[in-house]
C-alpha cells in the first residue's frame, strides 16, 4: 500500500461556539488535495487528542472519510496519553467507520505509545484488521 509522498497533518477548525466546523474542515481537505496533498493525518499531530471529546474525535474521522478527495489517504490519529484509551479509540474508529466500506488497517506505534488507523484508502474492498 502506497501512502503517497505528501501527507498533511490537517487542522480541525472550530466555529465561534467552539464546535467543530465541519464545512470549513471539508473545504480545507479539498483545498489541500487540490494543491498537492496525497493524504491527510486527521486528529493526529495537531493537538486534537486532548482537546476533543471522543465523540467529536470520531465524528471528525467520519467527516474526513465521507468527504475524502478521490485517491487520497486518510490516516486517523487515535492516540492519546492513555494507552487503553488509544486502543479503545482505534477499535471504535474501526467498528464505527466500517459502514463506509473502505480499507482499514490499524497499526500500533509502540515507541510513541499511540495507535494510528489508516482509513479510506482505495477500492472499497478492504476489511478491518487489528494487530
**pLDDT tens digits for 102-130?**
444 444 554 444 445 555 444 333 333 33
- Helix 54-66 to helix 83-97 angle, to the nearest 10 degrees? 40
Beta bridge partners of 106: 117
Evaluate if residue 25 carries a pLDDT over 50. yes
At 10, which helix (H) or strand (E)? strand 7-10
**pTM score of the predicted model:** 0.75
Q: What are phi and psi of 90, to 5 degrees?
A: -60, -45
Domains, the chain, ranges and CATH? 7-119 (3.20.20.70)
- Residue range 16-45: mean pLDDT, rounded: 93
Q: How confident is the model at residue 2 (pLDDT cuts 50, 70, 90)?
A: low
DSSP assignment letter at 33: H
CA–CA distance, 131 with 125 (Å, rounded to integer)? 19
Amino acid at each position: 500500500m502506497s501512502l503517497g509522498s505528501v501527507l498533511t497533518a490537517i487542522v480541525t477548525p472550530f466555529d465561534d461556539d467552539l464546535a467543530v466546523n465541519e464545512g470549513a474542515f471539508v473545504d480545507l481537505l479539498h483545498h489541500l488535495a487540490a494543491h498537492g496533498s496525497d493524504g491527510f493525518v486527521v486528529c493526529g499531530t495537531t493537538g486534537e487528542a486532548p482537546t476533543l471529546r471522543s465523540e467529536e474525535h470520531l465524528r471528525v474521522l467520519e467527516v474526513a472519510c465521507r468527504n475524502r478527495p478521490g485517491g487520497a489517504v486518510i490516516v486517523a490519529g487515535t492516540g492519546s496519553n492513555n494507552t487503553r484509551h488509544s486502543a479503545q479509540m482505534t477499535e471504535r474508529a474501526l467498528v464505527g467507520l466500517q459502514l463506509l466500506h473502505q480499507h482499514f488497517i490499524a497499526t500500533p506505534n509502540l515507541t510513541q505509545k499511540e495507535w494510528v488507523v489508516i482509513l479510506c484508502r482505495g477500492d472499497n474492498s478492504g476489511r478491518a484488521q487489528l494487530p
